[in-house]
């Protein structure tokens, strides 16, 4: 059976990714910390920062992942997990900077290394969930934006490096209606409406739209798409915010 491995599986986009790949005929294996992921067939807890800093923990985690996959063909690795530590240039600590790069950049690379042989054998693919912050950002997002820009760069570099056997693509969402985003606007409906109207599409995106894009990028129909960066942004990436 085909399998999909999805990190950050307990979040809003992660849950939609698990359901989307399961609906597409994959056995979905969710990875997250703290709580079980919904919409997936199997789940196990893995601390992605510790994966980057503790060799013994990393080897154990990779063994658990191999056990979870069993004899399945690995169709896709979706690197969705991320941390967003806010802070300006004069405020960020070295620890916050390193944690951001570990979880958002190094962990996706190490996971790709771990399953590369399985992906090559199955002619599978990698989908990295980056962010509009890879190209367009705002004050206070220095570490997060840097990590996502690097993830996009890694996507393109890996497509060149392993693209004959494993396709590697990225998705850059703008505002997506996850529970976390909506909770941030609780009691401030006007601000949420203003955010939606900033997008030329006149709304924010849904987790399901991100999942549908990932399912497509991993499908045979996208077989010649490699090293691509797909914006799921409602057109905001094209908008100039000059005064009218």
Residues 6+ away with beta carbon under 8 Å from 8: 14, 31, 32, 80, 81, 82, 129
- Is residue 228 a contact partner of residue 158, using CB atoms and an 8 Å limit? no
Catalytic residue positions, numbered:
144
Tokens of 219: 């499908």
134/190 Cα distance (integer angstroms): 27
């Amino acid at each position: 059976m085909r399998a999909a491995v999805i990190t950050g599986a307990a979040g809003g986009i992660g849950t939609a990714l698990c359901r989307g790949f399961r609906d597409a005929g994959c056995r979905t294996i969710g990875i997250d910390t703290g709580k079980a992921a919904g919409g997936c067939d199997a789940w196990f807890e893995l601390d992605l920062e510790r994966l980057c800093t503790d060799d013994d923990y990393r080897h154990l985690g990779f063994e658990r992942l191999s056990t979870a996959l069993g004899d399945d063909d690995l169709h896709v690795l979706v690197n969705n997990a991320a941390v967003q530590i806010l802070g300006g240039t004069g405020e960020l600590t070295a620890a916050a900077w390193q944690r951001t790069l570990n979880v958002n950049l190094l962990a996706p690379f190490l996971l790709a290394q771990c399953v590369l042989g399985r992906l090559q054998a199955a002619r599978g693919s990698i989908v990295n969930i980056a962010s509009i912050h890879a190209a367009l950002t705002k004050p206070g997002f220095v570490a997060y934006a840097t990590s996502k820009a690097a993830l996009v760069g890694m996507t393109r570099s890996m497509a060149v490096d392993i693209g004959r056997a494993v396709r590697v693509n990225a998705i850059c969402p703008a505002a997506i209606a996850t529970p976390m985003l909506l909770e941030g606007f609780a009691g401030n409906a006007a601000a949420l409406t203003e955010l939606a109207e900033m997008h030329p599409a006149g709304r924010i995106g849904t987790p399901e739209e991100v999942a549908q894009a990932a399912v497509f990028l991993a499908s045979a129909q996208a077989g010649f798409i490699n090293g691509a960066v797909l914006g799921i942004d409602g057109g905001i990436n094209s908008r100039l915010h000059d005064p009218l």
